[in-house]
Amino acid sequence: MGDKHRVIIVGGGAGGLELATKLGNRYGKRGSAQITLIDKSRTHIWKPLLHEVAAGTLDSAEDELEYLAQARWHHFRFRLGKMLGLDRDKKEVLLAPTYNNEGQVIIPERRFPYDTLIIAVGSLSNDFGIKGVDRHCLFLDSTEQAERFQQKLLDSMLYAHTCTKPIEKGQLDVVIVGAGATGVELAAQLHHVTRQLAAYGLDTIDPSQHIKLHIIEAGPRILQALPERISNAALEELHRLGVTVHVNERVIEVTEHGVQTSSGEFIPAHFKVWAAGIKAPEFIKDLAGLESNQINQLVVEPTLQTTRDDSIFALGDCAACPSSEPGRNVPPRAQSAHQQASLMVKNFKRRLLGRKLLNYQYRDYGSLIAMGKYSTVGSLMGNLAGSYFVSGYTARVVYLSLYKMHQAALYGWPRAILISLLHFLRRGVDPQIKLH
């Protein structure tokens, strides 16, 4: 064990878990390097599914992956813990103690030595310091938060259904701040789910009358990062669903009762969801003298090496990696994390052999927006060879295939196909949404 190259990957998300699996299969299996994955959670859910968990159209228990099992099957070690610091002189990662629900320490503070460190801790919602956001908004940064949202929605619907008083203005209304993919997809999912809940017996609630859905966007149009044609198609669908879209509206305060905008409008809502922009976790800002940007991301070279330390790499949402467009960084997306994990596998081999590392080049294969069960729109090929607008069945199939590719990277295609088949069979016997 002693002189094996020690690789530590912190963060087992879209990028880190694929990387640990690939390096485990390649180097851990042969015993030529020791691969360790550290995550603060015990299980993994692919983050782009979180709005479905929040809406209750996906049961997280069915789709989560157990890190310990994945580690055993793919020849890496999994260590539970939250990274809180780094000692670059000793080349050690510092982990906070882990507590149980009763507040007792179950794992003490620990240090893990590394020869190569890869930081892939993702991102969190950015509240931009706006008053009340932290206290009154719901976020979709983790499975726990998404599950809390689902419980809160269900509880509120049950309460409204059984309460003898009439439903008050705003009591079941939802305001989503941020009209990026997360906000738009969540609005469509919530439209579907609230109708389903009424159909499953909460029939004193008339969703079209009692539940208003709002999206607030500071920019001039929804889905600003995507081509205008997609934005228009999605807006049309939102209008059809009765979602009120406010553009060019900045939120200046969130209170217990609703959202105040800069134009003086107050939108009452029980549910306030914040989905407006991201930042990397606070602890990596100026981590042990590494360079970070204004949203805490670690600044990396195109090789994914941090600018001030060759043996520390960063990838995914927590990395500020220059893109081919001058002055712009690679966007924080699952496809970037996936591609960077694949490049990292190649660069790790080169690093072991003492060869020059390869540069990462972002390839935009397009973006798809799934509006619940109603429709899917998007573009394919992104910045490659022009982009093609797609909608309907083709778009839905491609949208689903993104997750299948993640599953294939983790389990291999035969198991990924088997899991899909099991899902399909379960759909025939389970309710369409989570009812507890």
Ligand X SMILES: Cc1cc2nc3c(=O)[nH]c(=O)nc-3n(C[C@H](O)[C@H](O)[C@H](O)COP(=O)(O)OP(=O)(O)OC[C@H]3O[C@@H](n4cnc5c(N)ncnc54)[C@H](O)[C@@H]3O)c2cc1C
Question: Given candidates 93, 118, 334, 409, which one binds ligand X under the rule CB under 6 A?
Answer: 334
User: Smaller CB distance to ligand X: residue 126 or 255?
Assistant: 126
Question: Given candidates 6, 25, 41, 77, which one binds ligand X under the rule CB under 6 A?
Answer: 41
Nearest to 109 by CA among 120, 89, 93: 93
382 binds ligand X (CB under 6 A): no
- For residues 281 and 156, give the distance between their C-alpha atoms in angstroms, rounded to a whole number: 31
Q: Looking at 34-42, 205-213, 222-230, 262-270, which segment touches ligand X (CB under 6 A)?
A: 34-42
Report DSSP state, residue 131.
Answer: B
39 binds ligand X (CB under 6 A): yes
Q: Which residues contact 410 (CB under 8 A, 6 or more apart)?
A: 17, 18, 21, 65, 70, 416
Q: Looking at 117-125, 189-197, 292-300, 406-414, which segment touches ligand X (CB under 6 A)?
A: 117-125
What residue has token string 């797609």?
390
Residues 335-374 that bind ligand X (CB under 6 A): 335, 337
Question: Given candidates 9, 37, 38, 241, which one binds ligand X under the rule CB under 6 A?
Answer: 38
User: Smaller CB distance to ligand X: residue 12 or 207?
Assistant: 12
Residues 63-102 that bind ligand X (CB under 6 A): 82-83
Q: Looking at 5-13, 210-218, 295-303, 321-329, which segment touches ligand X (CB under 6 A)?
A: 5-13
Report DSSP state, residue 173.
Answer: -
Contact of 170 with 208, CB cutoff 8 Å: no
Q: Looking at 21-29, 105-113, 206-214, 328-336, which segment touches ligand X (CB under 6 A)?
A: 328-336
Question: Given candidates 7, 8, 9, 15, which one binds ligand X under the rule CB under 6 A?
Answer: 15
- For residues 296 and 283, give the distance between their C-alpha atoms in angstroms, rounded to a whole number: 8
Contact of 377 with 395, CB cutoff 8 Å: yes
Question: Given candidates 59, 63, 237, 317, which one binds ligand X under the rule CB under 6 A?
Answer: 317
Neighbours of 422 (CB within 10 A): 11
Q: For residue 297, what are the CA distances in angstroms to 8, 282, 353, 391, 397?
A: 19, 9, 29, 34, 33
22 binds ligand X (CB under 6 A): no
Token pair in block for residue 368:
């798809």
> Which positions lie near ligand X, rule CB under 6 A?
10-16, 38-41, 44, 47-48, 50-51, 82-83, 120-122, 140, 181-182, 281, 283, 316-318, 332-335, 337
